Amino acid sequence: MDYDVIVIGGGYAGLSVGALLSHKGYRVLLLEKSRNLGGRAGYQERDGYTVEYGLHANRFAAEGAAAAVFRRLGRELQFISPGEPELWREDGFQPLPNNVGKIFKSPVLPFSAKLSAARYLLKLVVGRPERKYQMSMEELTSGCRSPQTLELMRVLSGIGIIAPDLRHSSAGEFAAFLKKALRAKVKVGYPKGGTRSIIEGLREELEKNGQVMTSSKVNRLMLKKGVVSQVKTDAATYVSRAVVSAIPAQEVPELFGGKDLPIKFVKTARELIPTAGISLDVGLRERVSDKDGLLVTSDPVSMGQFTSNIDPSMAPEGKQLLSWYYPLPLPWVKNQEKAKQEEERLRDLLGRMFPGIWEAAEWERPMRLSMVDGFLPRPGQTREDRPDFTIPSLDNFFLCGDTTRAEGTGGDTAFNSAIHVSRLVDEYLEGAAKEGD
């Protein structure tokens, strides 16, 4: 069977663009290399726990990018509001000072630091973010003499755009996030049922007019006169009118055997540096905390939540599920000795934060992740620098996912790119159909 669209990759971006195009009436085939859908937002069942692939939440809840995709499908994505975020500092929890009002109420900041932090936040949100894309947060705060202010900037940049190292955090990308966060009625929401509800909802929509095939790794795309003419897996060859790649841009050149693509695109794609870090999920046989919001540490910058305190369905009754993420530079994650050292540092930190946690642990799942989000939002990798949704000289090939120049970070970039690419594919297919008449 021939298809209108073949989508390569079954993460948030691939499922979203496939569902949107299927909803428009196109015959869609989605090919996913693993046995499960979801990619870096996947989940698995484990002894009554629903364990996601690391820490997940949705920025801006019903006003966010995931909800926007579902609205276009005529569906509603339900969210649970977590508790207020808290900062662990000096062996205690305090409200996270994540806006100017909370900064001036914060007991952890001296008055001079409050003034300084408020000034830098205002400096970020005033003016157009794009003018600051190529400026690092270190450059923006170069005149700051308050260690408390710099610590807060690291924390806010870490949780906002997953870039706690101010040397490698784009002031413009952080400013764009802050401006949107200030306008949002709800800062974050947890999807009811976790990432499962997003993945299965999108799968259901896609399969109304399409097909999902897992364990189907695409290993080669064949070109003919500037058009992707065939999509090859180990098991079969497929043909479609349009092809959407929803895998990281870093992997796209290999689909073409390392040739036939513009040199500029290949260089940009291969040089993209992702966010990375350590993820730790812990299943607990008894409750060790009543915290139900995002929990953040400042030294080192890390973040997590008791997922089951937000949505009780995520763990068996009377038990708890903790999911934690510690962002690290990619070279640290790839260095076995350094990664092990940081894992122990994280375990010690969690032990101090939640006394008795390791005695109550039924199981642990530590993961060293060399790619969390497809790009680190640093100068040179901002939305004006990352690959576009199309590639010059390829008429029917489109790029989707969190390595494109779509708005946002991580999952937001994936969903926003899917909305944009679904329109581009629709326009292309309608134009091609008119030419054929």
Indicate the range of 182-196, 226-240, 295-309 predicted with least confidence: 182-196
The amino acid occupying position 336 is Q
Tell me which residue of 325, 326, 322, 310 sits closest to 283, measured CA to CA: 322
pTM of the entire predicted model: 0.96
- Specify the residue for token string 């969190």: 402
Q: What is the mean pLDDT of residues 338-345?
A: 98
pLDDT in tens, 199-220: 999 999 999 999 999 999 999 9
pLDDT at residue 409, rounded to an integer? 86
Contact assessment for residue 288 and residue 352, using Cβ atoms and an 8 Å cutoff: no
Kindly report the number of other CB atoms within 10 A of residue 237's CB atom. 11
Where does the pLDDT of residue 38 fall: very low under 50, low under 70, confident under 90, or very high at 90 and above?
very high
pLDDT at residue 260, rounded to an integer? 86
What is d(CA 365, CA 70) in angstroms, rounded to the nearest whole number?
31
What is d(CA 124, CA 118) in angstroms, rounded to the nearest whole number?
10
Return the higher-pLDDT residue of 260 and 144.
144
Q: In CATH, which of 3.90.45.10, 2.30.30.90, 3.40.50.720, 3.90.660.20 is domain 57-95+187-193+276-370?
A: 3.90.660.20
Query: Any idea which architecture 3-44+196-272+378-436 has in CATH?
Result: 3-Layer(bba) Sandwich (3.50)
Where does the pLDDT of residue 436 fall: very low under 50, low under 70, confident under 90, or very high at 90 and above?
low
Check pLDDT > 60 for residue 437: no
Pairing assessment for the beta strands 28-31 and 3-8 based on DSSP bridges:
parallel
What is d(CA 360, CA 350) in angstroms, rounded to the nearest whole number?
13
Q: How many residues are recorded in the chain?
A: 437
Residue 276 tokens read as 């990375």
Query: Which residue ranges does the chain devote to CATH 3.90.660.20?
Result: 57-95+187-193+276-370
DSSP codes joined into one string, 27-83? -EEEE-SSSSSBGGG-EEEETTEEEESS---EETGGGSHHHHHHHHTT----EE--E
**% of residues, the chain, pLDDT over 70:** 99
Q: What is the mean pLDDT of residues 247-267?
A: 94
Query: Which residue ranges does the chain devote to CATH 3.50.50.60?
Result: 3-44+196-272+378-436
Return the higher-pLDDT residue of 108 and 120.
120
Contact assessment for residue 121 and residue 113, using Cβ atoms and an 8 Å cutoff: no
pLDDT at residue 187, rounded to an integer? 87
What is d(CA 23, CA 52) in angstroms, rounded to the nearest whole number?
27
Where does the pLDDT of residue 259 fall: very low under 50, low under 70, confident under 90, or very high at 90 and above?
confident
End-to-end CA distance of the chain: 22
pLDDT at residue 183, rounded to an integer? 86
pLDDT at residue 1, rounded to an integer? 58
Contact assessment for residue 231 and residue 218, using Cβ atoms and an 8 Å cutoff: yes
Q: What is the mean pLDDT of residues 288-308?
A: 97
What is d(CA 88, CA 86) in angstroms, rounded to the nearest whole number?
7
Check pLDDT > 80 for residue 435: no
The burial of 104, by beta-carbon neighbours within 10 Å (0-12 exposed, 13-18 middle, 19 or more buried), is given as middle
What is d(CA 409, CA 403) in angstroms, rounded to the nearest whole number?
9
Check pLDDT > 70 for residue 87: yes
DSSP 108: T
**% of residues, the chain, pLDDT over 90:** 91
Tell me which residue of 325, 323, 358, 313 sits closest to 49, measured CA to CA: 313
| Angle, vertex CA 124, rays to CA 118 and CA 128, nearest 5 | 150
- Return the H-helix or E-strand segment holding 239: none
pLDDT at residue 56, rounded to an integer? 85
Q: Cα 95 vs. chain centroid, distance in angstroms? A: 25
